[in-house]
Amino acid sequence: MFGIGLLKGLSVTMRHFIESYLYDRKPWEPRYHEEWLRKRQSVEGKGLFTIQYPEQKRKISEHFRFLPMLVYDETPDKPRCTACGVCARVCPPQCIWIQRATDEKGRPQARPAGFWIDTTICMSCGFCAEFCPFDAIKMNQEHEIPTSDRDRDMFYSLEKLLVPVEYYAKLHPSDYAAEQQERQAKQEARKQEA
């Protein structure tokens, strides 16, 4: 009969509507409570899906990548970076500029004197972090960076790129742990050789 298909379809939208409505009215699970949100946005969740941005934010994955950052271990004047140039060369849009440091006699040193990233060009591909042989460049997750002046604020130089290793460890805990493990293994192997 004409109309049955329509009604069948409407029953689906109706169910969605009722689900959202009822789920919103569970006093023991307040609507915008963190826990409850996570549950609703999970695979088992039903009903509405949206949250109140920017008051509320979704938890982003620890592997999420946005812009690169440079890691230092102890002090910012000793970054891990050795100015080897792999990241600058692999970068697909070529938005990394590196100036290698030299000593008084003009011999090249294994550290950068200048390091600039044009974040207006960076495509967040993550290749620099992936291919850096010294784990010196990693991907930051800070992504709310609107600014009124792109020339002034979106050209990152060393000061803006450098972050302590603790910051990196907090952002990417499992990657950090894996790297530490690898390092230790290497060190032990070296000790045994010696």
Partner 1 sequence: MATDLGAIEAQLNQAFPGAVIDRDGDWLVIEASRLPTVAQYLRDEMGYDWLTHLSASDYPDRFEVVYNLYSSRPDQQGPGIPFKVRVPDKANPHVPSLTSIWKSADFQEREVWDMFGIRFDGHPNLKRILLWEGFAGHPLRKDWHEPYYEQEHKPFPSRWPHAQQPKPRSAEERVRWRANVQYPQGFDPDQWKPVPEIDVLPAAKIDLNGLETDQVYVNIGPQHPSTHGVLRMIVGLNGETVTSIYPVLGHLHRNHEKIGERNLWTGIIPYTDRLDYVCPMYNNFGYVVAVERLMGQEVPERAEYLRVIMGELTRVINHLLAIGFQFNELGAMFTPMIYAFTEREHVLDLFEEASGARMMVNYYRFGGVARDVSDDWLKRCRKVVDRLDRKIDEFDTMLSDNEIFIARARGVGAMSWQEMVNYGVTGPVLRSAGLKYDIRKVEPYSIYDTFDFEVPTFETGDIYDRYRQRMAEARESVKILRQALDRIPARGPIQAGKKPWNPKVPAGELYSRVEHPKGELGFYLVSDGGTNPYRYHVRSPSFVNLGALEAMSVGHLFADAIVILGSIDITLGEVDR
The residues of the shown chain that bind partner 1, judged by CB under 8 A, are 2-6, 8-9, 11-13, 16, 41, 43-44, 49, 60-61, 63-65, 83, 85-86, 88-92, 94, 96-100, 108, 114, 116, 118, 120, 123-127, 130-131, 139, 150-152, 155, 157
- How many positions of this chain bind ligand SF4 (CB under 6 A)? 26
Shortest Å, Cβ 190 to ligand SF4: 20
Alpha-carbon distance of 186 to 181, in angstroms, equals 9
Q: Residues near 120 by Cβ (< 8 Å), separated by ≥ 6?
A: 150, 154, 155
If one counts every other C-beta atom within 10 angstroms of the C-beta of residue 52, the result is 10
Which distant-in-sequence residues (6+ apart) come within 8 Å of 175 by Cβ?
A: 62, 63, 138
Instruction: Tell me the per-residue interface mask from 119 to 158 with ligand SF4, x by CB under 6 A, - otherwise.
Output: ---xxxxxxx---x-x-xx---------------------
Yes or no: say if 40 and 23 are a contact pair by the CB < 8 Å rule. yes
- 3-state DSSP assignment of residue 112: strand
Is residue 163 a contact point for ligand SF4 (CB under 6 A)? no
Q: Where do contacts with ligand SF4 occur on this chain (CB under 6 A)?
A: 68, 81-87, 91-93, 95-96, 98, 117, 122-128, 132, 134, 136-137
